[in-house]
């Protein structure tokens, strides 16, 4: 028997259907020589400090840094996880082969490898590696199963990332909390989180320190065209008025007229970050919301694998493009011109050297049905971008006119679209216009040497402060380690040095919101005073450096490619943590004050209370779903539900068994899996005293 392990029950069901394992069992499907089981997200995690030694349970400066001799893993303390793991463990113990059908990426590889490690798997392992969940992709993937050893470097990179985050996060958080937080509040430090916050704080300080200055410019209108003087902006009105009087004495003379035809290249296909950027600009979606919507589309088989960082397709996909286009019947008015001739093998689209684990995000060709409004919008962005990649370039005419009045030189420019090309797909979409790009402006034909009367004037303006980050610009800053990069080619080259991975950046931003280090006003992101204080307290520049963190990300990618060693990366981080600890313990810094304090410990008479790790008080809506462990909870009219409800299905009602549940009851259910004893619960029309708890399927029962 061959055992297939998928990452989610829904994916397991799809796989089982394709390979003929149609008999439903408890925790798996069986048939045709296969058993198909599943995890649901992370089943295992790195051991916590107290798992290594009881001494590390308390938060004490003298115990830092904590460096385990060997890192271990453990099962997550969750009844549903432990029950399903036993199913997997049992199936693996008697199978002839395991097929790893986990999410085809670094995180998916790590999840599955840890499960196999914990289950002490000795059977040979194959790897299913697919970019979509369509029946065709699954069938083709099973015909081309790969040896698990091919992905050892991917697993090593995932392990290095997890260990690096543990070493820095566990040690630095305790270090700064105990040194500067007075033990009353957790000061959360992270390998990616902290430099991201530092970028936002730096921008905030630039905005706060900015002093707006007035300026004056000389402008004039000649033949219904506005020209601007090319001299530096004037700092006072007196100079401007003198300039205006000077301009009135002379006619306007055209010195140069240049009209050039050019092309505007097609937009690149989407990777996850660029999709999140556009969805934020156009619809105001957070990075986390966009990830949720596209994950739903992927699991419904309408788009390809979303957690990607490339904008290219592999060359073997070229023959399939026409077939995908033909299935996009909702967009037939746009696909018809493309399908009228052979699909070109464009170098800007197809390049095996630019494709790593997966190719860019494109539609699968499966006709979408039953989509929410948000999912429709994301699907439309992806599909239009896919079609636009194969359209002709946009042809434009760029006009530049130079002139002078006396000795003062002037300039005007305009752009005219001659052939819209790919812009036809965005005819009514103003969000496609690049920031700072002028509207199309048709200019009259001028001749060098012509001269005539004009209408000079003074334009008064004010200098503007730096713009606050939006999620769109923050994602771009994370992708380029804080460097301002507008060129697509250059951005592509810098991705290896970006901070965080496309799949984790949304979670990093959400964590900063939850920690109350940043806040959102309309679309703009601002650092809170708490966030500013935390960054000011961190004197160690390495912790705050986006470039250094980008360099770590580059090394993680090199590990993935087999060009760097996990142990070397680990030793570098250990050395940094050791030096950081020594530096901070002997340093003096400002004490952080924060509104949100940890709950006070209950006093015990005649006994010294054991020191405990300070905790942050989270509201229920800030807690993670106890079922999938991945997504935050969301408050509805009658229940809390997983924010990824369509996939996860978790729901916790406000009332159960005839009782209105208090916040304490709900919190206990989410964190402990059961409430304390409640009197008068209605069960089968009888009143009983008992505890409300989750069963293995996360349904409420009375114990």
Same domain, 384 and 443: no
- DSSP-based three-state secondary structure for 132: coil
Nearest to 17 by CA among 133, 144, 148, 147: 133
| Same domain (yes/no): 490, 578 | yes
Number of domains in the chain: 5
> Residue 682: what pLDDT?
79
Angle at CA of residue 568, ends 562 and 569, nearest 5°: 85
581 and 497 part of one domain: yes
pLDDT computed for residue 588 by the predictor: 59
Structure tokens belonging to residue 273: 């970050």
Question: Is the dihedral angle over the CA atoms 305, 311, 317, 320 positive or is it negative?
Answer: positive
Rounded Cα distance between 703 and 699, Å, is 12
Q: What residues contact residue 405 under an 8 Å CB cut-off, 6+ apart? A: 220, 247, 250, 251, 252, 253, 454, 456
E-state strands within 238-340: 252-264
Largest CA distance in the chain: 100
Any domain includes 380: yes
- Crossing angle of the two packed helices 529-537 and 152-180, in degrees rounded to 10: 100
Active site residue 305: yes
Query: How many C-beta atoms surround the C-beta of residue 407 within 10 A?
Result: 8
What does the block give as tokens for 39? 């995890």
Distance from C-alpha of 86 to C-alpha of 88, rounded to nearest angstrom: 5
453 and 252 Cβ atoms separated by less than 8 Å = yes
Helix (H, G, I), strand (E, B) or coil at 21: coil
Stated as kind and residue range, the H or E segment containing 419 is strand 408-419
Residue 546: per-residue pLDDT: 83
pLDDT value at residue 432: 57
All residues at 6 or more sequence positions from 152 whose CB lies less than 8 Å from its CB, including other chains: none
**Among the residues of 32-120, which ranges form H helices?**
49-52, 79-93, 106-118
Q: How far is CA 246 from CA 218, 223, 239, 455, in A?
A: 11, 20, 11, 12
Q: So what's the pLDDT on residue 443?
A: 87
- Encoded tokens for 46: 């790195």
Q: What is the pLDDT of residues 70-100, one digit of tens each?
A: 999 999 988 899 999 999 999 999 999 999 9
Q: Is 16 helix (H, G, I), strand (E, B) or coil?
A: helix
Domain range holding 360? Answer: 272-388
- Give the pLDDT confidence score for residue 500 in this predicted structure: 85
116 in Cβ contact with 98 (< 8 Å): yes
**Would you call 426 helix, strand, or coil by DSSP?**
helix
Of the candidates 462, 479, 494, which is a domain's last residue?
462
How confident is the model at residue 602, as a pLDDT?
A: 37
3 state SS of 688: strand
Same domain, yes or no: 457 and 476: no
Whether 633 and 564 map to the same domain: the answer is: no
State the distance between the two ends of the chain, measured CA to CA, in whole angstroms.
38
190-to-168, 226, 251, 271 alpha-carbon distances in Å:
6, 52, 64, 25
Q: Tell me what pLDDT residue 609 has.
A: 44
Q: Judge residue 693's burial from the number of C-beta atoms within 10 Å of its C-beta, 0-12 exposed, 13-18 middle, 19 or more buried.
A: middle
Give the Cα separation of 364 and 131 in Å (integer).
Answer: 10
Same domain, 254 and 399: yes
3-state secondary structure of 158: helix
Does an H or E element contain 322, and which? Answer: helix 321-327
- Supply 580's token pair: 């950081």
Q: What is the DSSP letter of 20?
A: T
Q: Which of 34, 155, 222, 305 is catalytic?
A: 305
SS3 of 467, please? coil
Assess whether 255 and 276 both reside in one domain. no
DSSP classification of residue 340: T
In a domain, 602, yes or no: no
Supply the pTM of this predicted model: 0.77
591 within some domain: no
- 536 shares a domain with 399: no
Local structure of 385: helix, strand or coil? helix
Q: From CA 623, how far away is CA 192, in angstroms rounded?
A: 21
In whole angstroms, give the CA distance from residue 474 to residue 195.
12
User: Which of the listed residues 89, 117, 144 is the one where a domain comes to its end?
Assistant: 144
Low-confidence ranges of the chain (pLDDT < 50): 436, 595-617
Is residue 328 a contact partner of residue 383, using CB atoms and an 8 Å limit?
Answer: yes
194 and 256 part of one domain: no
Q: What are phi and psi of 367, to 5 degrees?
A: -65, 120
Spatial separation of the C-alpha atoms in residues 254 and 249, rounded to whole Å? 16
Residue 97 lies inside a defined structural domain of this protein: yes
Question: Is residue 415 in a domain?
Answer: yes
**DSSP labels, 620-684:** GGGSBPTTTSSSBEEE-SSEEEETTHHHH--EEESEETTEEPPHHHHHHHHHHSB---EEEEEET
Q: Is residue 597 part of a domain?
A: no
**CATH code, domain carrying 399:** 2.70.20.10
**Residue 609 forms part of a structural domain:** no
Which residue, among 310, 246, 298, has the nearest Cα to 272 in the 3D structure? Answer: 310
State the CATH number of the domain containing residue 68.
3.40.50.140
How much is the CA Rg of the chain, to the nearest whole Å? 30
The verdict on 371 and 407 lying in the same domain is no
Please, which residues have CB within 8 angstroms of residue 329's CB and are 6 or more apart in sequence?
Answer: 367
Pick from 305, 281, 263: nearest CA to 391: 263
Q: Alpha-carbon distance 390 to 386, whole Å?
A: 7
- The reply to whether 606 falls in a domain is no
Residue 618 has which token pair?
Answer: 């989270």
pLDDT of residue 486: 58
- From residue 297, give the alpha-carbon distance in Å to each of 143, 291, 305, 465, 646: 25, 10, 9, 39, 11
Residue with tokens 């399908």: 339
Contact 509, 276 (CB under 8 A): no
Among candidate residues 115, 144, 173, the one where a domain is terminated: 144
Alpha-helical regions (H) of 447-560: 471-479, 488-494, 502-514, 529-537, 541-544, 546-560
142 vs 146, 295, 613, CA distance in Å? 9, 22, 48
What is the distance between the alpha carbons of residues 570 and 577, in angstroms, rounded to a whole number?
Answer: 11
Quote the CA–CA distance of 524 and 473 in Å, as a whole number. 10
251 with 399, same domain? yes
Question: Concatenated DSSP letters for 346-379?
Answer: -TTTB-GGG-SSS--B-B-SPPP-S--HHHHHHH
Residues 174 and 284 in one domain: no
């Amino acid at each position: 028997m061959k055992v297939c392990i998928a990452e989610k029950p829904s994916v397991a069901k799809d796989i089982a259907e394709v390979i003929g394992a149609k008999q439903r069992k408890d925790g798996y499907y069986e048939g045709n020589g296969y058993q198909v089981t599943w995890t649901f997200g992370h089943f295992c995690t790195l051991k916590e400090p107290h798992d290594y030694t009881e001494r590390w349970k308390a938060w004490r400066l003298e115990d830092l840094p904590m460096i385990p001799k060997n890192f271990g893993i453990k099962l997550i303390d969750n009844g549903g996880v432990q029950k399903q793991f036993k199913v997997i463990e049992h199936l693996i113990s008697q199978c002839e082969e395991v097929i790893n059908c986990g999410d085809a990426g670094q995180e998916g590889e790590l999840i599955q490898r840890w499960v196999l490690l914990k289950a002490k798997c000795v059977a040979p392992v194959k790897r299913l590696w697919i970019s979509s969940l369509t029946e065709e992709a699954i069938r083709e993937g099973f015909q081309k199963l790969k040896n698990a050893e091919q992905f050892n470097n991917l697993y090593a990179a995932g392990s290095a990332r997890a260990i690096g985050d543990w070493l820095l996060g566990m040690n630095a958080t305790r270090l700064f909390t105990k040194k500067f937080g007075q033990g009353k509040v957790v000061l959360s430090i992270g390998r990616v989180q902290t430099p991201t916050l530092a970028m936002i704080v730096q921008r905030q300080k630039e905005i706060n320190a900015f002093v707006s200055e007035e300026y004056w410019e000389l402008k004039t209108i000649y033949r219904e065209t506005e020209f601007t003087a090319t001299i530096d902006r004037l700092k006072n009105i007196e100079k401007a008025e003198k300039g205006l009087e000077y301009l009135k004495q002379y006619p306007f003379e055209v010195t140069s007229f240049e009209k050039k035809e050019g092309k505007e290249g097609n937009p690149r296909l989407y990777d996850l970050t660029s999709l999140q950027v556009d969805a934020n600009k156009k619809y105001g979606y957070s990075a986390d919301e966009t990830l949720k919507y596209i994950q739903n589309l992927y699991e419904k088989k309408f788009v390809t694998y979303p957690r990607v960082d490339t904008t290219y397709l592999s060359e073997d996909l070229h023959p399939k493009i026409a077939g995908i286009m033909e299935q996009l019947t909702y967009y037939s008015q746009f696909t018809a011109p493309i399908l009228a001739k052979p699909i070109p093998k464009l170098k800007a689209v197809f390049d095996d050297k630019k494709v790593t684990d997966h190719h860019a995000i494109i539609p699968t060709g499966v006709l979408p049905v039953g989509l929410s409004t948000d999912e429709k919008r994301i699907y439309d962005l992806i599909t239009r971008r896919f079609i636009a990649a194969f359209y002709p370039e946009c042809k434009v005419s760029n006009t530049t006119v130079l002139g002078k009045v006396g000795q003062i030189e002037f300039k005007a420019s305009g752009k005219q679209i001659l052939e819209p090309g790919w812009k036809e797909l965005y005819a009514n979409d103003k969000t496609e216009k690049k920031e700072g790009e002028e509207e199309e402006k048709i200019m009259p034909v001028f001749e060098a040497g012509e001269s005539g009367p004009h209408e000079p004037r003074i334009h008064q303006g004010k200098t503007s402060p730096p713009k606050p980050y939006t999620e769109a610009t923050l994602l771009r800053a994370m992708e380029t380690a804080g460097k301002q990069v507008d060129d697509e080619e250059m951005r592509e080259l810098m991705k290896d040095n970006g901070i965080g991975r496309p799949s984790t950046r949304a979670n990093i931003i959400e964590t900063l919101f939850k920690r109350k280090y940043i806040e959102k006003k309309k679309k703009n992101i601002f650092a809170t005073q708490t966030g500013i204080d935390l960054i000011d307290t961190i004197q160690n520049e390495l912790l705050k450096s986006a470039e250094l963190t980008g360099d770590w990300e580059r090394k993680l990618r090199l590990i993935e490619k087999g060009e760097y060693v996990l142990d070397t990366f680990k030793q570098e981080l250990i050395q940094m943590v050791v030096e950081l600890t020594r530096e901070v313990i002997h340093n003096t810094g400002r004490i952080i004050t924060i509104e949100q304090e940890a709950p006070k410990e209950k006093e015990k008479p005649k006994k010294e209370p054991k020191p405990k790790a300070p905790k942050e008080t989270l509201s229920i809506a800030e807690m993670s779903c106890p079922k999938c462990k991945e997504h935050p909870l969301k408050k509805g009219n009658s229940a809390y539900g997983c924010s990824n409800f369509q996939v996860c299905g978790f729901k916790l009602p406000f009332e159960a068994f005839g009782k209105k549940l208090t916040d304490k009851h709900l919190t206990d259910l989410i964190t402990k899996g059961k409430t304390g004893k409640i009197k008068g619960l209605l069960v089968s029309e009888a009143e009983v005293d008992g505890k409300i708890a989750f069963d293995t399927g996360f349904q409420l029962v009375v114990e």
